[in-house]
Amino acid sequence: MKRMLRERWNRFFFTEEVPYGLALVRMCLPLALLIPLIPRWPHARELFSTDGAAAPLWESFGFPGLLPIPSGPLAVALCTLLGWSLVALAIGWRSRTAAAIAALLTAYLGMLDMLGSLTKYTCIATHVLLLLALSPCGAVWSVDAWLCRSPAPWPQAPAGRQRRYALWPQRLIQWLFAIIYFAAAMTKLQTPFFVTGDQLYFWLLTNVNFANPLGEWLSLYPPMLVVMGLITIVWEILFPFLCWRGISKWCMLTIGAAFHVMTALMLGLIVFPLVCLACYWAFVTEAEMQRLLVWVRRLNRRWFRRAVRGGRPLPVSAPPPAWASPQASAVTFAAAAAVLIGLGLELEHWLDPYQARRGGAPHTPPVIAPELARRMLSGTERIQVRDKVFGFDVGSRTLGGLLADSKAEFRHGQRAIIECTVVPPHEDLWLEVNLHDARNRLIERTGQVMTRERIRSHFFFEMSERYPAGEYELVLLIEGQEVSRRRIAIREQRPGSAPPGSDAAGPPRVSSRDFDSIPRDVTSFRRDS
Amino acid sequence: MRRLRTNLFVTAYLGVLGFGLAAHALTFLKTCHPAMYFIVWDMFCGWSAYETRCEVIGEGDSGTYYQLAPGPWGEIRPFGSAERRDYDVYGQFGHRLAANTLRHTEHEPIRRIYIVEKAWAKKYNLPEPVWELRYQTPKPTEFPCYYHVRAIYNDQGVCLHRVEDWLKTQYELCVLDNPRLRSDMRKGHTFFASNPRDRQSEVIQTVNYESTDTE
């Protein structure tokens, strides 16, 4: 048993492969991380230094002084060095050194600015960069490989030409993602109202990320969000069990890729999905990469009608010049870093964000209009009732506990479902829904208590023949004041259809004796006016 | 030997990831050290139906009010549309943003620094066409914003007043909308407490259970 476990462990972590997957992670991840770094660089002094307003994570955790906060020039130098290490890592120049520097600085600079730089993608990137620093990520498709005089191995080259390495760094990246997704599923299960779609719904309406027009449009279809939320939870739970090999791995990765693309389109996230998708390359094995590249080459030949290159030798990069030894490479790498840091310091000095060195008039803080300031500093107001009400919708069917359609015309015998959405925080409320006729006369009144922990209440109206065909309005009242109105129309039953009250015409009218048979959150108290 | 070292590293790394997972699942030691932030994966753990922003304003000796964040040299929008100060959800760094602006600008003596939260219902974030589809009415051009003074600092940066955030305050107001509960609470007595999250704070608040400054 012990031997079998050891064999499995060794097979899992120490099988040797050409690290194509790691090479692709090495190339893609730094490019994704440069996207947030470049706009932050001109603000490095303000974000990360004692000459600005650093917001260290350790202070938030109650550990003041855990790590030093750098001075302004040092912060600029570190930010420049991080940029340089990411570029070097992407091209595979001193890959392991660059990855180690990038891991260290991504974590340190992130922790120095927990307001505007530290997010969970910073943490994921730190883990992956650390693992890249311990891996042979520069063994293929890199400047390092070129300098080592090993011909850049093409995946179709004979196996003997390529050096293989143990798989464990790649496996640890896979484990990292398995645990991240599993933990994310636990977060969702612990979050109230995720399963009902409300959390996702309000994230779609949140404007802290980039533009998300698709998300705003999808907010019109809440039942779809319930379904998407459930799929996400199931996928995240299954990921650690199915992500290792075969068809199930590709299913998990495809759903994952779709999930991350949707977070970009629906939530306006940019860097997080790019970081995750870059790391997905760690799931690709040597054999899969060979198949993929063969397929890409075939596709390329077919689509672009290139000359058939089957008979030609595989492309081999030119050997490096004699002076470009690995030792010279290390010196050049350090020299390039030093030069770039010097240039960065000079450029930042020239940019002069605080206008301290140009000799002009110093900045002055903008003045706030007195009325606005007075409004800001007056006491905290209670939320107005109209802001508590998020929706007052009419439809005829529900899905996942939410109204699934929107309807404004009903026929005699049909049932209208009215959904009132009141967002937290709210007190225990008495909700009243009244039916008014075309002349605004109250003809039906119904109400129910909405306790503070609930978000939705459903009312049912049987459109019986006691309401003559015509135009009506449904009016929502909370605390006695009108909050919202919806116009509906009641029409005669179509000739030949079943009479009201029969099964075909919909369920019977809700009455007090039916209360026990209806779920608690949709019962309505009804009294005739 | 090399294989042994690798095995030890792999085991230790998986152990750390497993510890983060367990800490998250059991809500145990989740915030015991800043390093926990790197191993606890609790993305998108909360939500609210209200959008909030943070304002940092200073009151000069003349009674003029100044905007102290962002600084006059320009704003930083780190992740899209919100400004850097808006991510200060615990209200911990507002005074530091203000101090940085004051350090690098010319201004009259500043008497007070106010950290103010601004909130509005997220439904007003809907673009106009979607609003019309959703509510079948034109989107209002103006909508109510709520302001809530979260903290006040003096010219030395000493915290004079600090309360919970706007949302928690509103929850408190809703819960306190109960005469029996209020009557029971008044049977208690006032006491002094400091915010346990802010371990190095100089803040000593005079509080009772109804500590909110409300109208």
At A255-308, the pLDDT tens digits run 999 999 999 999 999 999 999 999 999 999 999 999 998 888 888 887 776 555
Locus of tokens 């371990």: B199
C-alpha A299, offset from chain centre: 32
Q: What is the pLDDT of residue A474?
A: 94
Task: Name the token pair of B36.
Answer: 């926990």
C-alpha angle with apex B160: B206 to B50, nearest 5 degrees? 90
The whole-number pLDDT of residue A518 equals 38
| Residue among A43, A379, A452 minimizing CB distance to B213 | A379
**pLDDT classification of A170: cutoffs 50, 70, 90:** very high
The set of residues, in sequence order, having a beta carbon less than 8 Å from that of B145 and lying 6+ positions away, is: B118, B119, B120
| Partner B contacted by A174 (CB < 8 A) | no
pLDDT higher at A181 or A358: A181
Mean pLDDT of chain A: 87
Instruction: For residue B29, give the chain A residue with the closest CA.
Output: A61
Residues of B in contact with A428 (CB under 8 A): 177
Residue A166's contacts (CB-CB under 8 Å, 6 or more residues apart) are A13, A14, A15, A16, B6
Reduced to 3 states (helix: H, G, I; strand: E, B; else coil), residue A308 is coil
> How many whole angstroms separate alpha carbon A121 and alpha carbon A174?
16
* DSSP class of B30: T
Residue range A59-81, pLDDT digits in tens: 999 999 999 999 999 999 999 99
Cβ–Cβ gap B58/A64 under 8 Å: no
Provide the chain A residues 149-168 that lie in CB contact (below 8 A) with chain B. 166, 168
pLDDT band at A313 (very low <50, low <70, confident <90, very high): low
User: How large is the ipTM?
Assistant: 0.87
pTM (predicted TM-score): 0.88
Maximum alpha-carbon separation in chain B: 73
d(CA B43, CA A196): 18
b/e for A304-338, b at 16 or more Cβ within 10 A? eeeeeeeeeeeeeeeebeeeeeeeebeeebeeebe
- Chain A to chain B, count of Cβ pairs less than 8 Å apart? 277
CB < 8 Å from B in window 131-150 of A: 134
- Residue A344 distance to chain B (closest CA, Å): 19
Burial of A468 (0-12, 13-18, 19+ CB in 10 A): exposed
Contact B41 A58 (CB under 8 A): no
Is A366 within 8 Å of B72 when comparing Cβ atoms? yes
Q: Residue B196 corresponds to which tokens in the numbers above? A: 């346990």
Nearest to A37 by CA among A80, A2, A75: A80
How close B156 comes to chain A (CA, Å)?
A: 16
Are A176 and B214 in contact (CB < 8 Å)? Answer: no
Q: Kindly determine whether residue A115 and residue B78, on different chains, have CB atoms separated by under 8 Å.
A: yes
Q: Which residues in chain B are closer than 8 Å to A366, comparing Cβ atoms?
A: 66-67, 72
Residue in A127, A184, A368 closest to B43 by CB: A184
Nearest-CA residue of chain B relative to A405? B134
Blockwise average pLDDT, block size 10, chain B, 215 residues: 92 97 93 95 87 95 94 91 92 93 93 96 94 90 93 92 93 87 71 55 52 45
Q: How confident is the model at residue A512 (pLDDT cuts 50, 70, 90)?
A: very low
Read off the pLDDT band of A504 (50, 70, 90).
very low
Q: Which of B65, B124, B202 to mutate to test the interface with A (most CBs of A within 10 A)?
A: B65
Q: Which residues of A touch B79 (CB under 8 A)?
A: 116, 119, 208-210
- β-strand partners of A402: A399
Whole-angstrom CA distances from B215 to A378, A503, B56 are 9, 54, 22
Which residues, 6 or more positions from A145, have their beta carbon under 8 angstroms from its beta carbon? A92, A138, A139, A152, A153
> How many CB atoms are closer than 10 A to CB A478?
22
A470 Ramachandran zone, left/alpha/beta (phi>0; psi -120 to 50): left
Which residue is closest to B135 within chain A, CA to CA?
Answer: A391
Sign of the dihedral through C-alpha A355, A356, A361, A364: positive
Q: What is the chain A residue with the closest CA to B143?
A: A387
Which residue, among A166, A112, A65, A226, has the nearest Cα to B199 in the 3D structure? A65
Q: Which of A176, A364, A390 is nearest residue B106 as measured by Cβ atoms?
A: A364
Upper half-sphere CA count for residue A183 (Cβ side, 13 Å): 27
| A452, A425 Cβ separation under 8 angstroms | yes
Q: Is A296 exposed, middle or buried (0-12, 13-18, 19+ CB in 10 A)?
A: exposed
Give the distance from residue A301's alpha carbon to the nearest chain B alpha carbon, in angstroms.
Answer: 41
